[in-house]
Amino acid sequence: MSLETITTISPTTNEPVVTRTGVSAEDLRRIPEAAQAAFRSFSQHSTLEQRQKIVEKALDVLEKKKDELSREVTEQMGRPIAYTGVEVLTAIKRGRYLAKISTDVLSEKGIVPGEEEKGFRRYIKRTPVGVVLVIFPWNYPYLTLVNSLIPAILAGNAVILKPSPQTPTIVEQITSAFTEAGLPKDVLQYLHCGSFTLLEALVRSPQVNHICFTGSVAAGLAVQKAASDRVVNVGLELGGKDPAYVRDDVDLAWAAEEIVDGAIFNSGQSCCAIERVYVHEKIHDAFVAEIKKVLSNYRVGDPSDSKTQIGPVISKQSKKAILAQVADAIKESAKDETPENATFENFPLNGNYVKPTLLTGVSHKMTVMTEETFGPVIPVMKVSGDDEAVRWMNDSEFGLTASVWTKDVPAAEKLIERVEAGTVFVNRSDFPSPDLAWTGWKNSGRGVTLSRFGFEQFVKLKSHHIKNYPK
C-alpha cells in the first residue's frame, strides 16, 4: 500500500506550498509503542525542575526562530505577516507562564493530605497519565498547541502530535526545538496524516492514554466516537458562535473599533471570534454608522505585505460556505451594509478572499446567527434591552465566550452571570488568558486548558494509604 501524499495549498494563491508523506500502518504501531517506552523512562527519571528547564530552553529556541516561524504560518494559512509573529511570541509567553505555575500544581506543594490519624499517613498525589495524543488546528497552530503540549510535558507525559495538513511544519519546528533543549528521544513525536481512517487507528490504540482535540464540532465528535469503545479521556476544544452585547451607554467609536477587531481579526477564523452582535435599539443606527467608519479603514490583501490587516480565508470550500451564509441572510431580508468606499474588491488574483461584511436586519431564523461562520462577517441585531439580549445570547448550541460592552461595569458583571459560556468578558473579547480556565460549555467542548486547572487532564490521582509497621 502506497503512503499518503499530503499537500498544503496556499489560501493566498491556491497553489501547493508544502508536501509531506503520511504514515504507514507500521508507523501507527511503532510510534505509540516508542512513546510508551519513552514515557516510562521520562516519568521515572526526570524531575519537575528538569522538565521545566527543558521547556524553557525549547521556548528560547523558538523565540530565536520567531521570524522564520512567522513566515511559515503566513505562507501556509494566510494570516498577514504583521500578526503571525505575535502569535509565536504569545505562545512562548503562555508556555513560560504555564511552566512557572507548574511548581505549585505539580510539585510536592500539590500533594493533598488526608485526615490526620495516629499511626497512618494518607495523601493524594498527581501522576502523569502516560501517552498523550494532541490533534490541533491550523488557525492558531502555535497557541492551540502550547495549551496541551506544555502542561503534558511538564507533568511527565510523552506526547504524539498530529497537526492540520494545512500547517504541517509547526510540529517539525516544535520537535526540533525540544530536541535541541534536551528532551529525551521519543518523548515527543509527530506524524503527518490527512486520512481520518489512519488517525482513527491511533485514537483506538491502547498505547494512547489521553487525547486532546482542538477543531470543529463535527471532527471532535468523530474523534470522540472513534475512542468510544475505550476507557480513555478525550478533551475537546470545539467551535463557537460567540455573542457580544452592546449596551446603550457605550462610547460608540471605541466599541465599534473593538467589536470589528474581535469579529474579523484572522479573517474571523477563530473559535472565540465575535460572530453575533446584539445592540440596544437606542444606539443601533449610530453604532452601525461607526462600524462602517472602522471597516472603511481596513486593508484587505496579500498577507505577505506588512500593511495588510485581513488576508484570505483558508480554502475555496470555506469561502463558499461563508458566502452562502451571507446570501441566505440577505434572502431572508438582512441588509448588506458594508461601506461602499471600502477597498475590498481589489484582491490578489486566485486567493480565497472574502470581504469583511456588515449585515443588519438579521434574526435567529438565519444561519449566520445560529451556525458557526468562521469568516469575516459581522451580523448586527437590534434588541430592546438587557433581558432580550441575554435571551438571544443564550439561544445557541455553543457556549465558548461572550462579551458585554458598557460603561456600567457592575451591571455588566451581573449580566454575564446569566450568560451561558465558559468565558465571559466585559469590554473585551477574543482573548484566552493563560491564568484563567479555557473551557467550552454546550457543544463548544469538554474539559479545560490553561490556568492551573489545565494541568488536570494530564495527570491522574493516586491515593496513598500508609500504616506504620507494628513493632
Q: Over 80: is that where the pLDDT of 66 sits?
A: yes
pLDDT of residue 108: 81
What average pLDDT does range 436-456 have in this prediction?
Answer: 97
With a cut of 80, say whether residue 344 has pLDDT above it: no
Query: Which residue segments constitute the domains of the chain, with CATH numbers given?
Result: 5-238+444-467 (3.40.605.10), 242-426 (3.40.309.10)
Cα(458)–Cα(167) distance, rounded to whole angstroms?
25
Would you list the DSSP string of 105-119? HHSGGG-EE---BTT
Which residues are catalytic, by number?
237
Give tens-digit pLDDT for 248-260.
999 999 999 999 9
Find cell 465528535 and name the residue. 221
Q: Which residue has the higher pLDDT, 343 or 422?
A: 422
Mean pLDDT of 289-304: 95
DSSP line for 305-317: STT-SB---S-HH
| Side chain identity, residue 415 | L
**Closest to 351 measured CA to CA, from 298, 382, 305:** 305
Instruction: Identify the pLDDT of residue 468.
Output: 93
Q: What is d(CA 92, CA 50) in angstroms, rounded to the nearest whole number? A: 18
At 372 the pLDDT is 98
Quote the cell numbers at residue 173: 519546528
| Lowest-confidence pick of 30-34, 166-170, 325-329, 466-470 | 466-470
- For the residues 153-170, what does the mean pLDDT come to? 98
Give 189-218 pLDDT, tens digit per residue. 999 999 898 899 999 999 999 999 999 999
Cell of 366: 438565519
Give the phi and the psi of residue 62 in degrees, each rounded to 5: -65, -40
81-103 pLDDT tens trace: 999 999 999 999 999 999 999 99
DSSP secondary structure string, 361-379? S--TTSGGGTS---SSEEE
Among residues of the chain, what percentage have pLDDT more than 90? 94
What is the DSSP code (8-state) at residue 341? T
**What residues have CB less than 8 Å from 469, skipping those under 6 apart?**
none
Using a 10 angstrom Cβ sphere, with 0-12 exposed, 13-18 middle and 19 or more buried, the burial of residue 182 is exposed
- If phi > 0 it is left, if psi is from -120 to 50 it is alpha, else beta; for residue 348 that is beta
71-85: average pLDDT: 98
Residue 342 pLDDT level (bands cut at 50, 70, 90): low
CA distance 410 to 404: 11
pLDDT of 1 over the 80 cut = no
Residue 345 has pLDDT above 90, yes or no: no
Q: Distance between CA atoms of 219 and 200, rounded to whole angstroms?
A: 11
Half-sphere exposure of 466 (CA within 13 A, CB side): 9
Is the pLDDT at 231 greater than 70, yes or no?
yes
Cβ neighbour number for residue 11 with a 10 Å cutoff: 28
Give the CA count within 13 Å in the CB-facing half-sphere of 406.
23
Is residue 53 within 8 A of residue 277, CB to CB? The reply is no
Q: Helix or strand or coil: residue 300?
A: strand
Helix (H, G, I), strand (E, B) or coil at 169: helix
Q: What is the pLDDT of residues 302-335, one digit of tens each?
A: 999 999 999 999 999 999 999 999 999 999 999 9
Q: Phi-psi category of 215—alpha, beta or left, where left has phi over 0 and alpha has psi -120 to 50?
A: left
Across residues 231-254, what is the average pLDDT? 97
Cα–Cα nearest to 344, from 379, 306, 304, 311: 311
**435 pLDDT above the threshold of 90:** yes
Checking if the pLDDT of 46 tops 80, the result is yes
Summarize pLDDT for 387-414 with one digit per residue, the tens: 999 999 999 999 999 999 999 999 999 9
Distance CA 298, CA 277 (A): 19
Q: What residues form DSSP beta bridges with 235?
A: 212
pLDDT of res. 138:
98
pLDDT in tens, 357-392: 999 999 999 999 999 999 999 999 999 999 999 999
Task: Please tell me the predicted confidence (pLDDT) of residue 340.
Answer: 80
pLDDT of 2: 83
Write down the pLDDT at residue 348. 83
Residue 462 main-chain phi, psi, to 5 deg: -130, 115
SS3 assignment, position 301: coil
Q: What is the pLDDT of residue 471?
A: 78
Q: How far apart are the C-alpha atoms of 399 and 238, rounded to whole Å?
A: 10
Nearest to 98, CA basis, from 59, 40, 63: 59
